[in-house]
Structure 1
Amino acid sequence: MMRIGLIGTNNTHGHQLAGFINGWRPDVPIPSRWVHGPLPQFYLWAKTLRELEETGRVPAPDARVTRLWSEDPATEGALIARACEVERLVDSPEEATRDVDAVLLLTDDPNSHVDLAVPVLKAGLPMFIDKPLAPTDDAAREMAEVASASGTPWFSGSAFRFSPSLLAFRDRVTAEIGVPTAVYVQCPGWIERYGIHALEIMNVLVGHWVSEVAGAALPGRSSASLLLEGGETVLLETMSTAFDPPAQAIVWGAHGSLHWESRDVYRSIFSMTTAFLDMARSGVAPVPEAESLELARLANVLAEAASAKA
């Protein structure tokens, strides 16, 4: 049985990934509130979780979260440990990395990631690092260099990369309208934390090698115009709402345009969880290191451009 250490429950990914790997006890209610307030979208995650349980895809057959560190051990940590039957709720992030085979770093404070990730990567434990990857390009490269020196697979980014509906939409674009020439992407959330979502959607559709970026910010939203090296133009927009409207994209090609709207967020997160477990088994990262670094760099560029125009 592959043992997973999980660090951080200060966003909903701790609940979701632990539940997808270990399952969630049916006698423990899935919360409708989170530490920051009501979260009705937990219902949608619960629906996906139960559907996956019914089809035998949850819990994972050969892996378990066995150690968990939470910023809020008395509430969130205790709930996840009980619901997902995690063996040990530990007192420090370091303890969550002992006697395990791979690590999920889910705390969403990028300023903590270097200190938390470097010892794990040096030890050779496959690792997923949640967004934002790092506050600076130098910090991101430091983690990558440690991983490269130890031969440790890792990746970071958004679950939208693994969205079944987005991947199917990309195929539809190719078949129906040809090579994309322009893309519009809109995502909920703040660009400093959620800009990576818009970038990952862009990456699936047209790639990520950008030659020019211009940003703008208005109350409640941020936007960025990008010119890709292939000549494609992209407009990315984030709106400071928690979940609505859902992420969406419009793609223009030689033969018209097509629209996509995300309705499978939790299937996407399950697919990302599966990719992490596959990496831990095989030692092969699902995302090239250079791609993770470039997307993280672009996320920082978007945040800086938006703040400069605010």
Structure 2
Amino acid sequence: MSSYDRRKFIRTATITGVGLGLAGRASSLFAGTPATPGKRVGIIGLDTSHSVEFSKMLNAVNADPAYNGFKVTAAYVQGSKDITSSLEMVPGNLAKIKELGIEIVDSIAALLEKTDVILLESNDGRVHLEQALPVFKAGKRVFIDKPIAASLADTRAIFKAAEKYKVPVFSSSALRFIDSIQQVAQGKIGKVTGADVYTPSPTEKTHPDLFWYGIHGVEMLFALMGTGCHRVTRITSEDMDVVTGVWKDGRIGTLRGVRKGPYGFGGHAFGEKGIAPIGDFSSYQPLVLQITAFFQTGIPPVKPEETIEMMAFMEAADESKKKKGATVTMNV
């Protein structure tokens, strides 16, 4: 594991706003109106801070009306079975979830009986396919937190199963929805001709390098560039990676993954009408708004094809590393 500490980053990137960061204070802050039928949210996996932060946002007394009344009512603890950094987070997160009055159940089956939609929050992408299958079979809409899986093969299997059971699903990093990226997506600089982004990129031995944390930057890059990448080259050192993607229309996008030194998220997008700086992370709210809109409508804000291509991009980057920086054609 690199000198980056995922939990240290989460503590640094503190959420601001009423009702957030207030664990341990009066429970009345989160004693809002009980969820109505159809609005009950279940959580799978308490090995990530997202489970707590999303619950605080949805269950606050003065929760944003744009959340459409969705509230977390039950949670299943099991996430990763063997990643130490994830397992160490469970006791603290479990205590905070209980403080919010959220029921703890002993199985995914029990969770599905008590809830209407699912936040699959397990930190370990390797368990996502196994945990998502019963959700699909139950016909419940599900958001799968990043990474959607720990391999391209499992990613394809997840979407194939969702299609089989006709259940909407999507996966995303919160970084995709930061304001500076959304402004570019809405045409601020015209057609995007290229992009350079940077991201913290600590690694975890159970996942391909970029899948564990660098995926945040990959989401940023693809949110700016869109699909169509077909060639990937990765230059790597002990402390840093630079991954270059060439799109089929000739555009170039780069990702700098930082494992040591000052960290943050950012970059620049280049367009026909200007150059836009890409800002840092500030809040989970834009992502939670997208999730609750998805729960309400069943329309995923990120298409399966884009998520699949991002996973192919990261696998190609790993293959390029193994080949000492050779260019790799993506398997999409």
TM class by smaller structure: 0.7 to 0.9
| Contact 2:68/2:296 (8 A) holds in 1 | no
Deviation at 1:292, TM superposition (A): 2.2
In the alignment, the residues of structure 2 paired with residue 289 and residue 185 of structure 1 have an alpha-carbon distance, to the nearest angstrom, of 22
Q: Which runs of 5+ in 1 are unaligned?
A: 25-52
Helix, strand or coil at the partner of 1:118? helix
Partner AA of 2:276 in structure 1:
L
Deviation at 1:246, TM superposition (A): 2.0
The TM-score, its normalising length taken from structure 1, stands at 0.78
State the partner residue of 1:250: 268
**Alignment length (residue pairs):** 271
Q: Distance in 2 between matches of 1:59 and 1:283?
A: 16
1:107-256 aligned at under 5 Å gives the runs: 107-171=122-186, 173-174=188-189, 178-190=190-202, 191-240=210-259, 244-253=262-271
Does the aligned pair in 2 maintain the 1:22–1:59 contact within 8 Å?
A: no
**Residue 49 of structure 2 contacts residue 93 of structure 2 at CA under 8 Å; is this kept in 1?**
no
Does 1:21 find its partner at 2:28? no
Instruction: Give the match for residue 44 of structure 2.
Output: 7
Q: 1:85 aligns with which of 101, 114, 121?
A: 101
1:94, distance to aligned residue in structure 2 (A): 3.9
For 2:134 and 2:281, how far apart are their aligned partners in 1? 37
Q: 1:297: Cα distance to partner?
A: 2.5
Contact 2:201 2:257 in 1 (8 A): yes
The question of whether the paired residues in 1 share the 8 Å contact of 2:199 and 2:258 is answered with yes
1:230 to 1:237, Cα distance in 2 relative to 1, 3 A: same
> Following the alignment from structure 2 to structure 1, what is the Cα–Cα distance between the partners of residues 93 and 65?
21
Contact in 2 for aligned 1:169/1:260 (Cα 8 Å): no
Alpha-carbon distance in 2 for matches of 1:101, 1:217: 44
Contact 1:225-1:233 within 8 A present in 2 as well: yes
Write the deviation string for residues 189-217 of structure 1: whole angstroms up to 9, x where unpaired: 33231232222212222212112101122
Contact 2:67/2:288, CA 8 A, preserved across alignment: no
Structure 2 unmatched ranges of 5 or more: 1-35, 79-86, 203-209, 326-332
Task: Tell me which residue corresponds to 1:290.
Answer: 305
- For the structure 1 residues 202 and 59, does the alpha-carbon distance in structure 2 shift closer, same or farther, using more than 3 Å as the test? closer
Q: CA deviation at 1:59?
A: 9.5
**Cα deviations across residues 182-240 of structure 1 (Å, max 9, x unaligned)?**
32110113323123222221222221211210112211222211101121111101112
Q: Secondary structure at the match of 1:98?
A: helix
Distance 1:59 1:287 in 2: 19
The answer as to whether partners of 2:47 and 2:122 remain within 8 angstroms in 1 is yes
What amino acid sits opposite 1:80 in the alignment?
Answer: I
Please say if residues 101 and 280 of structure 1, whose CA atoms lie closer than 8 Å, have aligned partners that are also in contact.
Answer: no
After superposition, the Cα gap between the structure-2 partners of 1:195 and 1:203, relative to the gap in structure 1 and judged at 3 Å, is same
> 1:75 is matched with which residue?
92
For residues 277 and 251 of structure 1, what CA distance do their matches in structure 2 show? Answer: 28
Secondary structure of 1:185 counterpart: strand
Counterpart residue number, 2:3:
none
Secondary structure of residue in 2 paired with 1:10: coil
Shift of 1:308: 5.4
Deviation per CA, 1:57-114: give whole Å up to 9, x if none.
Answer: 17945221111122466432122221x221x112234433332111111112111111
Normalised to the residue count of structure 2, the TM-score between the two structures is 0.73
- Given candidates 103, 118, 140, the residue that maps to 1:103 is 118
Contact kept in structure 1, 2:141 and 2:169, CA below 8 Å: yes
* Cα contact 1:20–1:58 (8 A) shared by 2: no
Give aligned-pair identity as a percent.
Answer: 23
C-alpha displacement at 1:258, in angstroms?
A: 3.4
- Sort the Cα spacing of 1:195 and 1:189 in 2 relative to 1 into closer, same or farther, 3 A: closer
Alpha-carbon distance between aligned partners in 1 of 2:211 and 2:305, rounded to the nearest angstrom? 21
- 2:180–2:277 contact (8 Å) kept in structure 1: no
Structure showing the higher helix proportion among its residues:
1
